[in-house]
Amino acid sequence: QVELVDSGGGPVEAGGSLRLSCQIVSFIPSKNWVTWWRQVPGKEAEGIAGIYVASGNTQYSDSVKGRFTISRDEPRNMVYLQMDNIQPEDSGRYYCALSMTRKNAFHLFIRANFDHWGQGTQVIVVS
């Protein structure tokens, strides 16, 4: 059974950095998109970063472009989200998600595109 395990969240000062990790269990992604999402209470989850594992092609939302970097480590079946220059509005619960069928980046950040989700990891920005 495919499982995604998110980790790496915690408290971080505004302006600081954090790296989130997503371990993909029981599946070796290749021609798959893996994405990171952020959810805050009372709002829909927002897709913020995605990577196509086979090519390394990436996509970002405007809210994190230039500050966050998504990457993958294929031998370890890991996907990372490097968060730099973190701002108070980056607080939230972060989830990674894997699509088994999506091949292109068009309208990537739609929840229905993704079949497997991690349990989430909380990021709390303190100032």
Residue carrying structure tokens 């302006």: 15
Q: What is the pLDDT of residue 103?
A: 83
Task: State how far the Cα of 19 lies from the Cα of 51, in Å rounded to an integer.
Answer: 16
- In which band, very low, low, confident or very high, does the pLDDT at 87 lie, cut at 50, 70 and 90? very high
Q: What is the pLDDT of residue 106?
A: 87
Percent above pLDDT 70 for the chain: 100
- For 94-127, the pLDDT digits (tens) are 999 999 988 888 899 999 999 999 999 999 999 8
Q: What is the pLDDT of residue 104?
A: 83
Chain CA centroid to CA 70, Å = 7
Residue carrying structure tokens 């897709």: 47
Q: How many CA atoms lie within 13 A of 20 on its CB side?
A: 33
Task: State how far the Cα of 50 lies from the Cα of 61, in Å rounded to an integer.
Answer: 9
